[in-house]
Amino acid sequence: MNIPKMDILELLSDKKYVSGKTLGSALNISRAAVHKRINTLKKSGYTIETSVKGYKLVKTGDIINEFEILSKINKSVKIRGSVLHYAKIDSTQTKIKELAAENAAEGTIVAAEQQSGGYGRMKRHWSSAKGGLWFSLLLKPRMRPDETSKLALITAIALNRVLEKQYNIKSSVKWPNDILVKDKKISGIIVEMSAEQDMVNWVAAGIGINVNNILPGELKKISTTMKEILNKNIDRASLLGYFINEFDILYSDFQKNGFESYVKEYNSKTAYNGDSVTVDTGFETVKGINKGVDKHGKLIIDTKNGIVQIISGTLRKNNG
């Protein structure tokens, strides 16, 4: 449900009683219209106390919409942009690419409660039920097209930092785009772009995080959620805000100084580092020992025939 007139939430955000008369005067509407908007907010999940003193916002719980998301993003964030939130959409990634083609501003976010056609790398279907955090972020980096693949690695670092610092969840990165907790997938990242020969027009970074959603039976053995790990519901708007705040810092520094300064941190979080792995590049299958990534973001595999550097592919750990 879309929340009309977010300005009423701004007036109630200090969590003190505000009279209907004060709200009506500030919004230039009648007290009856104020009451109607309050009821709309309540139906959308907000807890609002009503008394002779007026109205008081008690708590929001896990509510995700334009107002909640923007309120959690620091005003100092350089890529702070507009937010579009949908109850259901085919894919936030498809929508953000449409907006990019219409010259939407950098930092634009598309988020959804559900996706009917969510996808990851290789167009693989991504289960996107209610309760998860499904969003796409529009970027316009100043870099060569061949540098953009590293944005997936920077995104993974930002999300790893948030999970550990804000939620005490220790996670790892399965190169190049999956976030794991105890070998179970909790998040996936996809980076797509539009570019010319020597310049990037835009980059669409899609992120899916299993938060409070219920996983289908077939995914429970290989995936997990934040709620399962912490045994409580997570405020998704806060999670998204934490991510944007963290990513903004990394993104700015990455454009200035490159990926080299992040190699050590990324490799310290690499899943299956030092293990026997197989990588399907789409052109060949490479087997060997995972040595992490180099300063160019390439995966290094030590094979029986020597070192192989891989730009993109699908990695899996070998059994035995």
CA pair distance 190, 93, nearest whole angstrom: 9
Dihedral over alpha carbons 57, 61, 63, 69 (to 10 degrees): 80
**pTM confidence score:** 0.89
pLDDT value for 34: 92
- Percentage of the residues of the chain whose pLDDT score is greater than 70: 95
Q: pLDDT tens digit string along 72-99?
A: 999 999 999 999 999 899 999 999 999 9
Q: pLDDT tens digit string along 246-266?
A: 999 999 999 999 999 999 999
CA 196 to chain centre: 27
Q: How far is CA 261 from CA 254, 297, 301, in A?
A: 9, 11, 21
The encoded tokens of residue 255 equal 């454009």
Q: pLDDT tens digit string along 92-123?
A: 999 999 999 999 999 999 999 998 876 655 55
CA pair distance 229, 221, nearest whole angstrom: 14
Return the residue matching tokens 């109607």.
36
CA pair distance 227, 16, nearest whole angstrom: 31
